Every structure is written in structure tokens, then in C-alpha cells.
Amino acid sequence: MSSTCNHSYRGCVAGVPIFNHLEAEDLDEIMKTVHSSTYQKGEHLYHAGDTLGALYIVHKGKVRIYRMNEEGKEQLVRLLSAGDFTGELALFTNKKEEAYAEVVEDAQVCRITQDDLHSFLMQYPTIALKIMQEFATRLDTAETQTALFAQERVETRIAKYLLTCTENNTARLTMTKRDLASYLGTTPETISRRFSDMERSGIIQKQDSRTFLILDQVQLEEL
């Protein structure tokens, strides 16, 4: 069960890229209209088909955005953590939501209604700019992702993904391999095999189930 309250809780909004450039008094203004809820693992923020009237901003925890086709096959679209938002489709168009938002780590989520947001946009045009920045970036990511699916083999997709989450020659996965498979448009079995291949050929080395040492970055890059 999720619990709701609409007290002023500035932290929820202050940490979010869309708003964090505003002055303190403007933030407080916005906070007055924000509804904050906590959700537990397994709960959904929304389902496909819902007509959302609000923007959901994750303040704490993790939320899995996924789609499902007619046969029930899932595709992981995005994994939200603190500062990320969702629900923009129903907010800016009048389409129904096509994705599901499932809490995978106990979360605190702020909601801003469509009407409130629209009036903020008129009042603070810089917010619009921030949102557009976020949109443009996400659009680019989505199109890159599509191109990746369209023209690269699974091995290449994994390699590219690993590189995006590598720091100091160490790749730390933020999700299970099962979710990774779904995100990369393949199966857990194939993910497993490709990881084994890469270990066998000395490109990576398993540290623990979620951490891998990159032994040969050059080779990884040209997969």
C-alpha cells in the first residue's frame, strides 16, 4: 500500500533537475502543489491504459518503466532513480499511457498535476527549457537505442551497454541480468552465454554477480 500526504516537503522538488535552478521561494511555491507518496516494492505507479493527469518525480528508490506486447512479452524501457520523472506522455498529449511503472525499490514519489504544471510553465519559462532539455536527451537515447537494436548483434549491444556503466575499468550493473536482457531486447540465456564468452576470451572478469572488471577495453569497444 502507498501512503499519501501533501505537506510541503521541499526535498522532493529541490533535488530534481527540472526545478533545482529555481530560487528558494519559487521552490516553496511549487512545493505547495506537490503531492508526495511512498510506495513499496512491487507496487505500480500506473499501468498501460491509464490516463495520467500528473507528472511523477522519483525522489527516492527505483522505478522500472516497462512495456508489454500482446503476447505478454516485456521490454524494459527505463529504470528511474532519484531525480528522474515519468508520465509526460499523458501530460502533454491526450494519449493513454502505454507503459507500466513498477516500484522495484521502496520509493518516494512526488506528483504534480497537469494543471499545476501548466501554470508553472507559464510562470517560469525556464522550467520548460529544462524539461525540453530532458526530452531532447531522452529522445536521443531512445533513437540511439532503436538504432542499436536495428543494426547491432546482441554481443555489441552488451558491449556498448557495459561501456556506459564502466568507471575505473569496472562495470557495475544497476539491474539484474534478467532485466538487462529485457532492456537489450534479448533473453537471459543469451545474456548469460555472451558474458561467459567474454570472460572466456579475457575481455571481462566477474567480481561478483553485478560487478565486472574490464580487462580489455579496446576489444570490448570493437565488438
Partner DNA sequence: AACAAAAATTGACGCAGATCAATTTTCCCA
Partner DNA sequence: TGGGAAAATTGATCTGCGTCAATTTTTGTT
| Binding piece for DNA, criterion CB under 7 A, among 49-57, 61-69, 112-120, 152-160 | 152-160
Residue located via cell numbers 529541490? 14
* 54 within 8 A of 115, measured Cβ to Cβ: no
User: Within 130-189, which residues bind a copy of itself (CB under 8 A)?
Assistant: 131-133, 135-140, 142-147, 149-152, 184-185
210 binds, among DNA, a copy of itself, none (CB under 5 to 8 A by kind): DNA
By rule CB under 7 A, what string of x and - marks binding of each residue 38-57 to DNA? ---x----------------
Question: Residue-wise over 22-49: b if at least 16 C-beta within 10 A, else e?
Answer: beeebbeebbebbbbbbbeeebebbeee
DSSP 21: T
154 binds, among DNA, a copy of itself, none (CB under 5 to 8 A by kind): DNA
55 binds, among DNA, a copy of itself, none (CB under 5 to 8 A by kind): none
196 binds a copy of itself (CB under 8 A): no
Beta strand pairing call for 3-5 and 74-80 = unpaired
Q: Quick one: which of 4, 187, 201, 207 contacts DNA (CB under 7 A)?
A: 187
- Measured distance CA(157)–CA(134) in Å, rounded: 24
| SS3 at position 99 | coil
Q: Quick one: CA torsion of 203, 205, 209, 211, rounded to 10 degrees?
A: -80
* Residues of the shown chain interacting with a copy of itself in the complex, contacts defined by CB under 8 A: 67, 69, 73, 75, 77, 88-89, 91-93, 95, 98-99, 118, 121-122, 125, 128-129, 131-133, 135-140, 142-147, 149-152, 184-185
